[in-house]
Each structure stands twice: as C-alpha cells, then as structure tokens.
Amino acid sequence: MPEPITPDPMTIAFLLFPHVTQLDLTGPAQVLSRLGGARIALVAKTRDPVPTDAGFALLPTATFNEVPAANILCVPGGFGTVAAMEDEATLAWLRQVGAGATWVTSVCTGSLLLGAAGLLRGYRAACHWASRDQLAWFGAEPVAERVVFDRNRVTGGGVTAGIDFALALTAAIRGEDHARFVQLSLEYDPAPPFDSGSPERAAPETLARYHSMVEAYAPGRAEKVKAIAERMTP
C-alpha cells in the first residue's frame, strides 16, 4: 500500500462531470468528511456549476490542474458516465491521480470510468447491477456485492451503496470504532419501506420500467461503453 501523498490534511478528490448522480457523490462525501483531518475536493474541468441528473447543479471546488494528486480518488456514476469516458482530459486526470492515490475508489457506474482510464484491469470490482457485466470489457472481474475491496481499489454498487462503501473505507482507514461512530452520527439505520431494491426482488414490471427509463435517458449506453472498451484493447 503506498503512503498517503498529503498526510495532513488528507485530500479526498471526487470527480464531477455533467449529469452525475449526485447521491453517488454526496452520500460518500458526507461520510468521508467525518474521517477527521480530511479535505473534500469536488474536482471538474472548470469551476462552472456542474448539472446533476437530479435536476440541480453542484459547484466544483477545484479544477483538474488544481488537484494533481490526492490520498483518495472517488469516482461517482450517472447518466453522464459515457460522455465522461469519452473525454480525454477526464481520463488523463483519473490516470494521473489514480497512479499515486492511496485509495482508488468508485460508486455505481463510476467503476466503468475507472475501467476506461485503465485503473481496474486485473481487479475485482462492483458496479450498479444493470451495468456490472460491462466491467469485464475493461479487464476487471465483476462482483455482485455492495462493497468490494481488492488491494487499494474499493468499489461500491449502485447509488445508495456509496454510503456502505464510505463506511467500510472509513473502517479501513480509521478503524471500526470510528466508522461505527460516524454511522451513529448520521443515523444510518436503513429500513426501506419496500423490498424492491434489487433486480432479484423487484417485480418484473418494475424491472421493465427501469430499463425503459435508462434507454430514454441514455440510449444505447451499453453499446457505447463496449465501443469505448474495444478502442482501448491493444
């Protein structure tokens, strides 16, 4: 495991890109902000507001040039993932920061972005259930788990798994007692009103509605991701 680049304060760099799923980012950011001695950086190509797929914007705190290194790199997912995967400046920044980060992490389809940057080849990884199999196109091993650790790569499943991922990473960095304290402070005690949070338990009509929604917002997404992966193949 490499030594932290900036031990005090610890720098946690979250990638921001247009049409990111904000909870992929804000969920783990809320948890990791309580690591102690940590600085959260929301990093984008410019400091202009970045639209999310929730209909509101997030304001970057730094540009790619301003954060050339970080202790923790975290990449969220969202409907804008494919466009980010096709942006060379974004991939170049991920490669640069990922090369020296103590922890290289993602939530949801952010793991596909790590894959497109060449940072998951030979690693086990999680992803949103609907895109998980696509990790194999980038040389990663898809794993159907909510949080996956493989050496210094830590990946979370879809959206809300980002909170679980961040608590697990907190435990790895600060110890389980501190992670339990953060969980209590956030009253993270989930008791969902419906048992429909996975494709195995959702009704067939709910599953079909989800796939229709994805095709409407991100038409041909799987085919585009596959084409990007094929361009990367030597």
Domain ranges within the chain, ordered by starting residue:
10-187
What pLDDT is attached to residue 1?
A: 40
What pLDDT is attached to residue 67?
A: 97
Q: Choose the catalytic residue: 108, 114, 116, 159.
A: 108
Q: Phi and psi dihedrals of 63, rounded to 5? A: -100, 170
For 165, the token pair is 């991922």
pLDDT in tens, the chain (234 residues): 434 344 457 999 999 999 999 999 999 999 999 999 999 999 999 999 999 999 999 999 999 999 999 999 999 999 999 999 999 999 999 999 999 999 999 999 999 999 999 999 999 999 999 999 999 999 999 999 999 999 999 999 999 999 999 999 999 999 999 999 999 999 999 999 999 999 999 999 999 999 999 999 999 999 999 999 999 876
Superfamily of segment(s) 10-187? Class I glutamine amidotransferase (GATase) domain (3.40.50.880)
What pLDDT is attached to residue 8?
A: 54
Alpha carbon separation from 221 to 37, 71, 135 (Å, rounded): 39, 31, 13
Choose among 228, 232, 230, 210: nearest CA to 82: 228
| Pair type for strands 10-15 and 72-75 | parallel
What pLDDT is attached to residue 2?
A: 36
Report how far Cα 47 is from the mean position of its chain's Cα atoms: 20
Is the CB of residue 102 less than 8 Å from the CB of residue 71? Answer: yes
What pLDDT is attached to residue 181?
A: 98
What pLDDT is attached to residue 113?
A: 98
What pLDDT is attached to residue 3?
A: 42
Q: Tell me, yes or no, if 108 is annotated catalytic.
A: yes
pTM of this structure: 0.94
What pLDDT is attached to residue 233?
A: 73
Residue 234 and residue 220: Cα distance in Å, rounded? 24
Report how far Cα 132 is from the mean position of its chain's Cα atoms: 13
